[in-house]
Structure 1
Amino acid sequence: MSSENTAHRLTEQAVTIHQPTPLAPYSAGPVVPVQPAGMPSVTSIVLPDGRVITGYAIDHNRPEPLAAKPLVSRTAVNIALGGIGFAAVCGGLVLLTTFIAALAALVQQLIILAAVIFGGWIAVQVLTAGQSKGGTTVNIRKAVFKRNHFQG
């Protein structure tokens, strides 16, 4: 009975059949043996007794060459360039302070010149006060000063 049940179940279930899809025909061209990139070539050696040994030639690992060090380190070059720049700035600062000192001396000379000219103009005004040119003349010599107060 169990075999009948199994056969009955197989007939009731849907059976799906898969068919392979055919591939497109391949046109074979001439085959040229090509050595793959990175693979060493095959080498054969004949020993003195006549045996032939065939195998790959092995390249021994060679250490990479060390990079050549520059004669002068980059830090030393930077320090030297910084020193040159600092010297240039110091020279400019010396010139700047010299310029400021010269400008201060010029301003001082102009102030003294203005005082001399203005003082001379006042002196001329006072000393020529006696010569009347049609204006009001004030004789200061007759004024009386008592306790720093002018009484005219």
Structure 2
Amino acid sequence: MYPEHTPHVPVQRAVKVHQPTPYPPAVPAATPVVPVQPGTVPAVASIVLPDGRVVTGYAINPTQPEPAAAKPVVSRTALNIALGGAGFLAVCGGLILLTSFIAALTAFITQLITLAAVIFGGWIAVQILGTRGHQGGGTTVNIRKAVIKRNHFRG
């Protein structure tokens, strides 16, 4: 067996990092060359692993998570419930006014019917009991001139 692979003796190797210089991209002659700021090109790094392999790549900065959206002070559900309650109270107020209006209208109509019955009943009573001359065929007696003697009426 090889000494690197013995389980009891760990072998530590130094990690070497190479910084190769990237080649500039080939630019056609017709295209003007725009100078690049030195901070915009990411650095290329090579790492030698303990088993001898070389890994080359760009260093990646960890991505920052998006800031969480600020939550409103009052949730939308609570706001919807509150607005529904306000609407319900407005409807109840309208229903109370409508009920009061219907009750007042009913009382007014009842009074009109009662007044009409009293007037019409009085007109009927006058027609039945009233005198319009001698149309009934009965005898009219003037009581002031009558003389009553011994329970016998003489007119």
TM-score, structure 2 length as denominator?
0.52
- 1:122-144 CA-to-partner distances (Å, cap 9, x unmatched) read 1222232x222xxx823689xxx
The answer to whether the 8 A contact 1:40-1:56 is kept is no
Paired letter, 1:138: G
Partner of 2:87: 85
- Whether the 8 Å contact between 1:41 and 1:57 is mirrored in structure 2 is no
Aligned to 2:49: none
State the shift of 1:34 in Å.
5.6
How do 1:1-152 and structure 2 match up within 5 A? 28-29=29-30, 31-33=32-34, 35=36, 40-41=40-41, 58-128=60-130, 130-132=131-133, 137-138=135-136
* Structure 2 letter corresponding to 1:40: T
1:42/1:81 CA distance change after superposition, 3 Å? closer
Residue matched to 1:147: none
Say which structure is richer in helix.
1
Letter of the 1:112 counterpart: T
Percentage identity across paired residues of the two chains: 60
CA–CA separation in structure 2 for the residues paired with 1:139 and 1:89: 69
Distance 1:139 1:41, change over 3 A: farther
Structure 1's unaligned 5+ residue stretches are 1-26, 44-54, 142-152
Distance 1:104 1:42, change over 3 A: closer
Shift of 1:33: 4.0
